[in-house]
Amino acid sequence: MRTIVSVSTLLTTVHGTFSAHVLAARLHSEGIDVELRGAVDSPYGLTVGDMARVDLYVPEDQVDDARLVLLASEIDDAMDLPEARDSERRPVPSWVWVMAVIVLVIAVAAPVLRWLVDA
């Protein structure tokens, strides 16, 4: 009986287990085997630095396919442009309207009050 051992090759490195699991799920959905090594599910919730580093390894015969999936994911992320600026306009807060009305009332009332006091 012959045992076939596939050699794992480093595909990429990410920081944080969430990013690693998302990327692994994306690769698994394309039928690519992924092995996570590093700070996977560690008791420390670090997301920056080398203590949060997670390496993604794939079998050597699937490296090219995995790189293509990563490239396609990056292109999809880049192509998701934000919607037009007109649809993202934020409504004016109510305190701005209140201040505008107060300034308008003072601007109109001041000359009238001055006319009444002088008369």
What is the band of 73 on the pLDDT scale with cuts at 50, 70, 90?
Answer: confident
Cα–Cα distance, 16 to 24 (Å, whole number): 12
- Looking at residue 18, what is its pLDDT? 87
Quick check: 69 pLDDT over 70?
yes
pTM equals 0.60
- The whole-angstrom separation of Cα 54 and Cα 38 is 5
Lowest-confidence pick of 53-57, 76-80, 83-87: 83-87
| pLDDT above 90 for 27 | yes
Cα-based distances in Å from 22 to 17, 27, 31, 63, 75:
8, 9, 14, 18, 16
**Averaged pLDDT of the chain:** 83
90 or 58, greater pLDDT: 58
pLDDT confidence of 16, banded at 50, 70, 90?
Answer: confident
Per-residue pLDDT, averaged over 29-55, amounts to 82
The pair of three-digit structure tokens given for residue 98, joined into one six-digit string: 């209140």
Task: For residue 26, give Cα distances in angstroms to 4, 23, 64, 83, 114.
Answer: 26, 5, 15, 25, 73
Strands laid side by side in the 8-15 sheet: 8-15, 53-59, 35-38
Please report which confidence band the pLDDT of residue 33 belongs to, taking 50, 70 and 90 as the band edges.
very high
Spatial distance between the Cα atoms of 7 and 27, rounded to a whole number of angstroms: 17
